Structure 1
Amino acid sequence: MADSVTIRELVKNTRLTVYYGEEYLDHRRITTPDISRPGLEMTGYFNYYPPERIQLLGITETSFSKKMSHEELLMIMRKMADPQTPCFVVSTGIEPPAELIQAATEQHIPVLGSKQTSSRILSNMSIYLSGVLAKRQSIHGVLVDIYGLGVLITGDSGVGKSETALELIRRGHRLIADDRVDVYQQDEQTLVGEAPKILNHLMEIRGIGIIDVMNLFGAGAVRSQAKIQLIVHLQNWTPDAQFDRLGNADDERQIFDVQVPMISIPVKTGRNLAIIIESAAMNFRARSMGYDATKTFDDNLNSLIQENSKRDEAAEAANEAKTTDDSASATKGKD
């Protein structure tokens, strides 16, 4: 987890324009992903003003400022230009007010701009800052993109995670991280995994050593990050181990505040784990889209039971009718 982000990094990753303060981009730092829209502050209300946040001005704020006198607006901007304020951002291609530039100049605060709307640039900056400043957790495993689905392969050391991932890469899928996956929570339902910088594009294969996946298989074989949507846990097979055979089990693993679906796969000589994991990913996607093979099997089984029950009832009814006819014939013969 990074403690802060420089304004230059923000400009680079969200494509902002620098109106003023190029020389201060590396000195001012952002410590929170929260962004302020100073609407009330424009009216003079500073009882709760978060100076540590990026201050975003859009059409509403700049339109209101045009109705203010020069002295009044300069006073407001000087109050907003706090020593803690990392930067000002003006959206929608609006020219920053001269009073804002003057106040920012006095405190050496960069003034940035964007042609995007306030909502769009707010979203872009929030997503970027939330990812960079988020708390991270390292997980032992391999993260692979399988048909666009982020699959985290876990298991004990030596169970074959990296070798399985290598086979998946040869089958056209993409590596995100091997051995150690840095995970952070993007929102209430989303986890994102990425490789530590020192392990980018690298894998360790026992008996071979370190290999560079990008050099061996090309740029299309790697990704920088991916959402973790499924966990596949590789477990050594033992005769007494119990594994789900029908797909009814809904195991999950909690990472931060997110519950991630988890499948346990037994590892045994002769099993092609790459194809099994690939099939598990496709089956998970099919279930997410509403098709459940387990439900289809249950429906087929219930239909078969009902058909057999009807057949048995019909046979039983026929036997009862035959018994009744035989009894009637015997009685008539005696008469």
Structure 2
Amino acid sequence: MAKVTANDLIENFQLELISGEEGIYRPIATSDISRPGIEMAGFFTYYPANRLQLLGRTELSFFEQLSEIDKKERMLKLCTYDTPGIIISRGLEVPAQLVAASEEKGVPILRSPVTTTRLSSRLTNYLESKLAPMTAIHGVLVDIYGIGVLIMGASGVGKSETALDLVRRGHRLVADDSVEIRQEHEDTLIGRSPELIKHLLEIRGLGIINVMTLFGAGAIRPFKRIALVINLELWDQKKAYDRLGLEEDTLKIIDVDVPKLTVPVRPGRNLAVIIEVAAMNFRLKRLGINAAQEFSERLTDVIEEGDRDDYL
């Protein structure tokens, strides 16, 4: 899991640092954001101190009605050694009591001109993306007709060569060799390339080539949602492969089960065309058109009709 700090928020959201500079590198451990309205009223029993705290016009307007003693007490309780930061929205004036408490506890106080609701939404989306569970898988990720296809298989089976053929056919490369995958939502996996090998493709006998330089910017994309996994394996004569397409296998990546197809590799098979058709067929299945199921139903009807004729 990536590490996010208040300093990252300053750089990405152009926030103004008011006080508590020594705490800008405290880790932010959760994407949840708290608006401490009930805490302003003095109820700190369930105060989520490890979250980012967002103060808007409502919270600060109520705060101004408190006595000086209460103001100081509430701000000291709001700033804990676990609090990663407090953000003031709408460019509102920061209370002096909050500045004093932040300096004492080392809690960074940041300010933004953006409205509270919009700022909360932007911060949540950013933190969910950065703090999402992550893994790395050996394979190739290609965007084929809008379907993110993760090509896997043993080393040397032909993944990169197949990806090169797909790029030549107009599809877009996302990552080769190593694919970084984040689970950004409950059932959404986003794959991208590590920065070190971005746009690069390794072809045995040729070496490393730059796909963007050779084929143009339209041949690559920075990230893609993974919808289908295709596993390439050397042809095994003893193994029975699915010939109808009725079997549905999945591969669990982090917490998401992704549909998986196994394609045997043998001389003479055009893997790029097979994977291209697999992506198109997967797209049709999502639209409710399943050729294998239709064939199975036709076959069942023919068998049942033959049985009736025999009976008559």
Fold conserved between structures, TM > 0.5: yes
Point out the structure with the larger helix share.
1
Structure 2: distance between partners of 1:29 and 1:194: 27
Which of 80, 92, 95 pairs up with 1:98? 95
- The amino acid that maps onto 1:238 is D
Which of 206, 225, 232 pairs up with 2:204? 206
Structure 1: distance between partners of 2:47 and 2:131: 22
Structure 2: distance between partners of 1:101 and 1:219: 48
Residue 62 of structure 1 aligns to a residue whose secondary structure is helix
Structure 1 match to 2:66: 68
Structure 2: distance between partners of 1:273 and 1:135: 32
Is the alpha carbon distance of 1:282 and 1:62 closer, same or farther for their aligned partners in structure 2, counting shifts above 3 Å? farther
Which of 237, 240, 243 pairs up with 1:242? 240
**Aligned-residue offset at 1:245:** 1.1
Is the alpha carbon distance of 1:244 and 1:104 closer, same or farther for their aligned partners in structure 2, counting shifts above 3 Å? same
Please tell me whether the aligned partners of residues 184 and 190 of structure 2 are also in contact (alpha carbons under 8 angstroms): yes
Pairs within 5 Å for 1:298-309: 298-309=296-307
Instruction: Spell out, residue by residue over 1:193-250, the C-alpha distance to the aligned partner (whole angstroms, 9 max, x if none).
Output: 2222211111111011111122222223222222222110001112222211111111
Structure 2: distance between partners of 1:116 and 1:286: 43
Name which of structure 1's ranges 149-158 and 122-131 shifts more when overlaid on structure 2.
122-131
Pairs within 5 Å for 1:277-316: 277-309=275-307, 312=309
Pairs within 5 Å for 1:68-87: 68-87=66-85
Please tell me whether the aligned partners of residues 51 and 84 of structure 2 are also in contact (alpha carbons under 8 angstroms): yes
**Aligned-residue offset at 1:164:** 0.7
Instruction: Spell out, residue by residue over 1:96-132, the C-alpha distance to the aligned partner (whole angstroms, 9 max, x if none).
Output: 44344554466462313252553x5334323322333
Structure 1: distance between partners of 2:113 and 2:267: 58
Structure 2: distance between partners of 1:194 and 1:167: 20
Which of 20, 29, 32 pairs up with 2:29? 32
Please tell me whether the aligned partners of residues 6 and 26 of structure 1 are also in contact (alpha carbons under 8 angstroms): no
Structure 2 match to 1:333: none
Structure 2 match to 1:331: none
Please tell me whether the aligned partners of residues 30 and 52 of structure 1 are also in contact (alpha carbons under 8 angstroms): no
Structure 2: distance between partners of 1:155 and 1:35: 41
- The amino acid that maps onto 1:10 is L
Structure 2 match to 1:262: 260
User: How high is the sequence identity, in percent, across the aligned residues?
Assistant: 46
Please tell me whether the aligned partners of residues 153 and 233 of structure 1 are also in contact (alpha carbons under 8 angstroms): yes
Structure 1: distance between partners of 2:22 and 2:286: 45
**Aligned-residue offset at 1:94:** 5.7
CA RMSD of aligned residues (A): 2.8
Which of 227, 230, 233 pairs up with 2:228? 230
Unaligned runs of 5+ in 2: none
Structure 2 match to 1:194: 192
Is the alpha carbon distance of 1:145 and 1:24 closer, same or farther for their aligned partners in structure 2, counting shifts above 3 Å? farther
Is the alpha carbon distance of 1:101 and 1:209 closer, same or farther for their aligned partners in structure 2, counting shifts above 3 Å? same
Structure 2 match to 1:111: 110
Pairs within 5 Å for 1:51-62: 51-62=49-60
Is the alpha carbon distance of 1:304 and 1:139 closer, same or farther for their aligned partners in structure 2, counting shifts above 3 Å? same
Which of 40, 63, 67 pairs up with 1:42? 40
**Aligned-residue offset at 1:25:** 9.1
| 2:30 is the counterpart of 1:10 | no
**Aligned-residue offset at 1:151:** 1.3
Please tell me whether the aligned partners of residues 86 and 107 of structure 2 are also in contact (alpha carbons under 8 angstroms): no
Residue 129 of structure 2 aligns to a residue whose secondary structure is helix
Is the alpha carbon distance of 1:244 and 1:25 closer, same or farther for their aligned partners in structure 2, counting shifts above 3 Å? farther
Is the alpha carbon distance of 1:25 and 1:251 closer, same or farther for their aligned partners in structure 2, counting shifts above 3 Å? farther
Number of residue equivalences: 309
Structure 1: distance between partners of 2:23 and 2:82: 15
Unaligned runs of 5+ in 1: 318-335
Structure 1 match to 2:165: 167
- The amino acid that maps onto 1:9 is D
Please tell me whether the aligned partners of residues 8 and 25 of structure 1 are also in contact (alpha carbons under 8 angstroms): no
Name which of structure 1's ranges 39-48 and 204-213 shifts more when overlaid on structure 2.
39-48
- The amino acid that maps onto 1:113 is S
